[in-house]
Amino acid sequence: MTRHLGDDWVLPELSDLNRPFFTSGQVQVQVCDDCGVLQQPPDEICGSCQSTKLSFRATSGEGSIESVAVVHQAVHPALKDACPYAVVVVSLDDAPGVSVIGNVLNRDPGEVAIGQRVRACFETCPSADGEETLKIPQWEVV
């Protein structure tokens, strides 16, 4: 099994806004070419200066856990075997104001705690249409 929640679990539908994050093998966040502000999730316009000149920037993939919720009850039948699992919000060291969502792969859910230092890892699998390779960012406590 290459994916934490099961190889058949839902994949992101790729778009211009999320392709860098899900396929680059880096934790990339959106940056405004005009004012330099970072935003996540990406959008079609900069929320700070309203520029539409936006690109993506790789981060170090290192950060801290801002919050954790341990899911016990599957809200989809396909997740039954994956429970319990930990959903975390991670702030990135070199992308101030930006957080991303993920799972922690190398600890039991009950051992995941706010404030723990984490490093990105990636789940590699084909996209749903088989045309691209996904490298889905995930997290390991360091």
Partner 1 sequence: MKKQAVIAGVGESSYHVRGRSPDSEFQLACTAIRNAAEDAGIALADIDGFVSYNDQRNDPLRLARALGIRDLRWAVQSWAGGGNNAAHAVQMADAAVCAGYAENVVAFRALAQGQFGRFGQSRGGGRTMDGDMAWKAPYGLLSPAQECALHTARFMHDHGISQEALCDISLACYANAQRNPRAVRYGQPLDREKYHASRWIVEPFHLYDCCPENDGASAVVVTTAERARDLKSKPAAILACAQGLGPMYGSSAFQPRWIGRMYYDNVGRSLWERAGVGPDDVDVAQFYENFTGPVLISLCEMGFCKPDEVEAFVANGALEGPDARFPFNTSGGNIGEAYIHGFELVVEAARQIRGESTCQIADAELSLVVSGPGYAPGSALLLAKT
1 is an interface residue for partner 1 by CB under 8 A: no
Q: Shortest distance, CB of residue 118 to partner 1, whole angstroms?
A: 14
Residue 67 has a CB neighbour count (10 Å cut-off) of 12
Does 49 sit near partner 1 (CB under 8 A)?
no
**How many residues are present in the chain?**
142
Nearest by Cα to 102 from 133, 92, 15, 59: 92
* CA distance linking residue 61 with residue 97, whole number of Å: 15
53 vs 76 by CB, closer to partner 1: 76
Chain positions contacting partner 1, by CB under 8 A:
5, 9-13, 15, 18, 40-41, 43, 66-73, 75-76, 78-79, 82, 84-85, 87, 89, 97-103, 114, 128, 136
